[in-house]
Structure 1
């Protein structure tokens, strides 16, 4: 990055939030609830970020998953007990081989009920609590109103709430450099689309910009993928700059830095940024998947219950091919898909557009698709960023896809569907709650210390 010029503007705030997706918007609204002045720096033109691609989030012991509605899950650590916080905690940590911090999981899972209620208090509507495949019914899917996308509708409502509460947001503006003094953060240098440098003086900075999914060089460098074709699904702005910005300020990277939410075959040329197309849905059906040697490498219906597991199976091949026939396509039109997925979900759905897309694609050659990265900056249970010695960098936080430490080698969709979306919101709130706890000089509050 070129050296920044002198700031043309200085803003004072109690907290500077980098990113206006689920994590950043949650942090901004939480800050407003606590009477803190937040400034949001966002590279896109409005609220949303990669969170618009989500459909629901994990919720445990909420009003939707309590009492008679509390699931009992055969795949749980304790399959005869209700699938509440304790059971889900042990189940997920076992799935991740106890690589993540149990304290981080406890902090996250333990406030899920509170966060679901908090979201509803800020205008978010949940349509239902459902399962993915044979998993537990804890996926709290959002109402999508009259919009096509549940996540898009969520962020439209959430962003409007942040505006209503008086959040100052600078859109089309990039976070460039953390300002450090005596080992602690005191603000951020940002740059708008015209090249103007903005200095934000704030005693707290929280980073939540969506990870590094679109930076293939970064991803190949830190993940285990062997597949020569990988395909990010979702927003195109996730390049890892803010993860690197934190590292330049002394942040350590969490174990599992290359953890990725792999999701299985994506037909090359047929899908660019979304997973709601019929061409994508056809490619992940349990037909026949072959690798570069013409070998079948996994049980294809794995995708239905555990898309992350199927994605890892594809990740470990050099090249992948998904084979299906016109007979399959006609069956899907008449009877619906073999595995229910997104828009491609009901009998009687014509697949003319899918055929057109697939004809324009590279035959049955697929890349390994992934929704997001989910391993990054090392944080503790309060989402405070840690340095290489495991010490807290004062007043610097990370959440959502920028933070690591929540997963082992893969995403836990079978045991906590929507855990990454839930983590985005929960981590944004955890950061602000912790920042409020400690007395410090607050720039915006005219030198008054926080109560």
Structure 2
């Protein structure tokens, strides 16, 4: 299958003496007709002489999601100019790993973070995948990397990028080792939802790791600027030459650099990109029933890194791939702890669509990606249960639900608290004495919902789900009034498709040429995933990929941009291929 996910063909023209946009150049201007080791960005002296102004064509201004982003493709007059080796855009696990690695390698580096706090959604991450890390080996697990690689590419039907995937699995353990050598604390090794224990659970979540990396990076000489977003990518005929950023006081800063690493966290908060690339509705707005519940995690992940890359001709890879999560109840976010979420939502109860028809195996509760993806197949989703189930859940939830609801946890006041939420009317939850009345309150066809419930109850009584093969233990009938209905909305933790990269994290244009000096890491980089996150194969793989792609980028910058490496690039040996 062709990996070029979009027909967008963006052309950018950089103003200034003799400067032209990257996508307007001949192929050898990108890839360099010279060997890769000679593919260096322009010198700092050349970069200093830039005007920093980019003029774009109408097509560039029509980039999908541009209006919902924080980038600015207009003329910008800089009030300050800085010169460094590397600019890192974003301070999540990818951005902070890149900043630390670059600083330790002796490069001058500035990390730009648009928010006041560091870490992005990585601050809430719980752990990192890794095969054959020293920690895993010490626990007695010596896993076959080849088998894991095969499981992964087969899971993705070989539509993830095989060279990137192979290097990732061959080196995943070394990235855990690197992170632990730099202060990451691990409190446990868990199989979580994967095949064997390979999920290294953080002590203190990702926030503690980010803070540790940030302190180490600053001690090594890195500069971290918060509330200072990158708003424009600068380039000349030799490649990327830096970024334009806006300081806390609103002034423009031109940062000339030999390389730029995009690590801005993907686009889960960008309405137009989500609805265009994933085909899902984006729930956000004034209506309390649709409040801010399309994405889990921090605000501001609006595709800045991806769009800046596209503005100079970068290609996209599996741009619609997401890390789907459990749904959210209308009126809440998934990460809002409340009894309604843990008792009514993340539970293996009957689920129907907008036509009051059942459509899935509700036993997917232990695979949040599968659950989330399943919910996106319908226009609307509704959970249906009865009073007996709520009472049963109040005594101790009946199933582990991917770490959200823990089996056995009691909610003794569940019935009373749910009634209070219903009376307040702030959430999409309804209660009725008959199924038909419940359907009317929910806007569903009463007769159809009654038929669906009756058929489902018959299968529960028989002990076999002839429709969608749900496990017998989760065949929970809906018989005892009052009955409860919940409208739910699909959610994402993050997006996992992005700029097309190679196995050295170098960003490529649409013909497949290297855009010199431009790198992407973490959720801004496409390649490791097909069309969804692989939690059942490699739980925590995105956190490891953040570290891996960041380190790959820094290594290539050392070897092929700065020229300060040892002349040996590890990409080939990492992959055991040329």
User: Structure 1 length as normaliser, TM-score?
Assistant: 0.88
CA distance in 2, matches of 1:330, 1:39: 55
1:169: how far off? 1.0
CA distance in 1, matches of 2:492, 2:299: 13
The equivalent residue for 1:94 is 154
Deviations 1:270-293 (A, max 9, x none): 226x26554433312111111111
The correspondence for 1:312, drawn from 373, 379, 386, is 373
Unpaired segments of 5 or more residues in structure 1?
71-81, 145-149, 442-448
1:170: how far off? 1.2
Q: Residue 343 and residue 93 in structure 1: after superposition, are their counterparts in 2 closer, same or farther (change >3 A)?
A: closer
CA distance in 2, matches of 1:127, 1:357: 37
CA distance in 1, matches of 2:496, 2:371: 17
1:343: how far off? 5.8
Deviations 1:54-89 (A, max 9, x none): 11111101133337632xxxxxxxxxxx64321111
1:260: how far off? 0.9
Partner SS state of residue 246, structure 1? helix
CA distance in 1, matches of 2:73, 2:509: 25
Matching of residue 187 in structure 1 with residue 242 in structure 2: yes
Do the aligned residues in 2 keep the contact of 1:176 with 1:242 (CA within 8 Å)? no
The correspondence for 2:298, drawn from 216, 221, 235, is 235
1:352: how far off? 5.1
The equivalent residue for 2:84 is 13
The correspondence for 1:336, drawn from 388, 394, 397, is 397
Where does 1:199-214 land on structure 2 (aligned, <5 Å)?
Answer: 199-214=254-269
Matching of residue 162 in structure 1 with residue 217 in structure 2: yes
Q: Residue 308 and residue 39 in structure 1: after superposition, are their counterparts in 2 closer, same or farther (change >3 A)?
A: same
Partner SS state of residue 129, structure 1? strand
CA distance in 2, matches of 1:300, 1:367: 15
CA distance in 2, matches of 1:450, 1:188: 24
Deviates more, 1:236-245 or 1:322-331: 322-331
Partner SS state of residue 413, structure 1? coil
Q: Residue 182 and residue 190 in structure 1: after superposition, are their counterparts in 2 closer, same or farther (change >3 A)?
A: same
CA distance in 1, matches of 2:555, 2:355: 53
Deviates more, 1:196-205 or 1:174-183: 174-183
Do the aligned residues in 1 keep the contact of 2:230 with 2:245 (CA within 8 Å)? yes
RMSD of aligned residue pairs (Cα, Å)? 2.3
The equivalent residue for 1:296 is 358
CA distance in 1, matches of 2:183, 2:375: 39
Q: Residue 281 and residue 376 in structure 1: after superposition, are their counterparts in 2 closer, same or farther (change >3 A)?
A: farther
The equivalent residue for 1:136 is 196
CA distance in 2, matches of 1:227, 1:40: 30
Deviates more, 1:172-181 or 1:225-234: 225-234
The equivalent residue for 2:52 is none
Q: Residue 346 and residue 226 in structure 1: after superposition, are their counterparts in 2 closer, same or farther (change >3 A)?
A: closer
Partner SS state of residue 169, structure 1? strand
Do the aligned residues in 1 keep the contact of 2:100 with 2:214 (CA within 8 Å)? no
Partner SS state of residue 121, structure 2? helix
The equivalent residue for 1:413 is 535
Do the aligned residues in 2 keep the contact of 1:226 with 1:317 (CA within 8 Å)? no
1:439: how far off? 5.1
Do the aligned residues in 1 keep the contact of 2:259 with 2:561 (CA within 8 Å)? no
Q: Residue 357 and residue 52 in structure 1: after superposition, are their counterparts in 2 closer, same or farther (change >3 A)?
A: farther
Deviations 1:171-199 (A, max 9, x none): 10111111111140111111123220111
1:224: how far off? 3.5
1:9: how far off? 1.3
1:111: how far off? 1.8
Whose helix proportion is higher, 1 or 2? 2
Do the aligned residues in 2 keep the contact of 1:265 with 1:322 (CA within 8 Å)? no
Matching of residue 375 in structure 1 with residue 497 in structure 2: yes
The equivalent residue for 1:85 is 145
CA distance in 1, matches of 2:353, 2:225: 46
Do the aligned residues in 1 keep the contact of 2:382 with 2:487 (CA within 8 Å)? yes
Do the aligned residues in 2 keep the contact of 1:4 with 1:197 (CA within 8 Å)? no
Do the aligned residues in 1 keep the contact of 2:112 with 2:228 (CA within 8 Å)? yes
Partner SS state of residue 199, structure 1? strand
Do the aligned residues in 1 keep the contact of 2:104 with 2:217 (CA within 8 Å)? no
Q: Residue 428 and residue 134 in structure 1: after superposition, are their counterparts in 2 closer, same or farther (change >3 A)?
A: closer
Deviations 1:338-367 (A, max 9, x none): 124446326354365873556631110110
Deviations 1:381-407 (A, max 9, x none): 111000011010012100111111211
The correspondence for 1:37, drawn from 99, 108, 119, is 108
Q: Residue 346 and residue 308 in structure 1: after superposition, are their counterparts in 2 closer, same or farther (change >3 A)?
A: closer
The correspondence for 2:514, drawn from 359, 377, 392, is 392
Unpaired segments of 5 or more residues in structure 2?
1-71, 284-289, 430-485, 567-578
Do the aligned residues in 2 keep the contact of 1:188 with 1:199 (CA within 8 Å)? yes
Deviations 1:24-80 (A, max 9, x none): 10001111221111101110113211211211111101133337632xxxxxxxxxx
Partner SS state of residue 316, structure 2? coil
Do the aligned residues in 2 keep the contact of 1:222 with 1:258 (CA within 8 Å)? yes
Do the aligned residues in 2 keep the contact of 1:58 with 1:422 (CA within 8 Å)? yes
1:337: how far off? 4.0
Partner SS state of residue 266, structure 2? coil
1:103: how far off? 1.1
Do the aligned residues in 1 keep the contact of 2:306 with 2:498 (CA within 8 Å)? yes
The equivalent residue for 1:225 is 280
The equivalent residue for 2:427 is 361
1:166: how far off? 2.6
